[in-house]
């Protein structure tokens, strides 16, 4: 009985029992359907290794790849009033905020940080589409104002990564007020002669496109990013016509003069470094790693003189006279 209990039954259970595999080990590319291992995808900055499709990337991961050595300091953003309109649809607005914070691990839909990119100090802000579709509310407005004020204080350029579905409906008119508010903050930045660069990522729509996302000195977009105010489906239903292929995508907007560059995520850091140094009238960044500084030769210890040498150098002592008897 012990042999059956201790050996046969565990052996049968190990053969037929299902092993639990974490669900987040593999991700499926939305474009080509390739299954991608999570470490391989993270190393490639959330870009499909098969077709080059750019997936959503969190602000913390983006900043870790952007800033030199992954080192950056978060800029504090003032806290707005929570649920000023006491808004409720199928859920209360505070409950939706709590749910978004639990699922994403982020405080809000925008992260502001400062650090160096290619040796050039900057202030950067990035939206998180996974947090309530990156919607623009009072916190996002406060974040852009805080980023602009910090850039002015430190005399640094501002780089913004946009990804949003528009204004946050739960905050009503207060969210729409962030459009002129952020525009004024960015105008203050430009009056100081500081560059403002926008990187539009998929998707950037609604009131975000109608305000701070299209006010950059240089407009860059990631490949195939949807950039629009009203989506293509709404436009087709309104005008009752079929839209051109790739309408409102980054490449289409580049061809029609609304963007300056379309740059893959893996080459974006080098592109930003080159543009920032050009706008700041600085020489191009040096390629490669600088050689380590030469170490000074070690000091040779001074040897103490030998005892025999010291004795030889001393003059001979005079002999004492003999004692008289």
* pTM given for the model: 0.81
Neighbouring residues of 56: CB distance < 8 A, sequence distance ≥ 6: 46, 129, 130, 163, 201, 202
Give the separation between CA 25 and CA 50, rounded to whole angstroms: 17
pLDDT at site 195: 97
Residues in the chain with pLDDT values less than 70? 1-24, 288-296, 299-325
Give the separation between CA 214 and CA 198, rounded to whole angstroms: 7
Give the separation between CA 214 and CA 206, rounded to whole angstroms: 12
Neighbouring residues of 305: CB distance < 8 A, sequence distance ≥ 6: none
CA dihedral 91, 95, 97, 101 (to 10 degrees): -130
pLDDT at site 325: 47
């Amino acid at each position: 009985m012990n042999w059956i209990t201790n050996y046969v039954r565990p052996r049968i259970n190990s053969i037929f029992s299902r092993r639990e595999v974490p669900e987040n080990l593999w991700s499926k590319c939305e474009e080509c359907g390739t299954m991608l291992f999570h470490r391989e995808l993270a190393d490639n900055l959330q870009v499909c290794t098969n077709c080059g499709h750019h997936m959503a990337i969190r602000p913390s991961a983006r900043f870790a790849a952007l800033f030199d050595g992954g080192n950056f300091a978060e800029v504090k953003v003032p806290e707005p009033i929570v649920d000023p309109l006491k808004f409720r649809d199928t859920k209360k607005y505070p409950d939706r905020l709590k749910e978004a914070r639990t699922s994403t691990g982020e405080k809000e839909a925008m992260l502001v940080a400062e650090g160096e990119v290619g040796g050039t100090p900057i202030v950067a802000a990035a939206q998180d589409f996974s947090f309530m579709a990156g919607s623009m509310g009072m916190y996002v407005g406060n974040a852009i104002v805080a980023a602009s004020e910090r850039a002015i204080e430190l005399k640094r350029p501002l780089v913004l990564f946009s990804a949003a579905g528009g204004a946050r409906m739960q905050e009503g008119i207060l969210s729409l007020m962030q459009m002129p508010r952020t525009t004024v903050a960015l105008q203050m930045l430009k009056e100081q002669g500081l560059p403002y660069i926008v990187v539009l990522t998929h998707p950037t729509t609604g009131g975000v496109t109608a305000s701070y996302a299209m006010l950059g000195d240089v407009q860059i977009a990631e490949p195939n990013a949807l950039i629009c105010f009203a989506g293509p489906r709404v436009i087709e239903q309104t005008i009752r016509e079929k839209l051109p292929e790739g309408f409102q995508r980054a490449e289409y907007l580049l061809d029609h003069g609304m963007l300056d560059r379309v740059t893959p995520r893996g080459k974006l850091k080098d592109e930003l470094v080159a543009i920032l140094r050009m706008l700041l009238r600085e020489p191009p960044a040096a390629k490669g790693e600088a050689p380590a500084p030469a170490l000074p030769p070690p000091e040779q210890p001074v040897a103490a003189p030998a005892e025999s040498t010291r004795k030889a150098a001393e003059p001979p002592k005079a002999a004492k006279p003999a004692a008289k008897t």
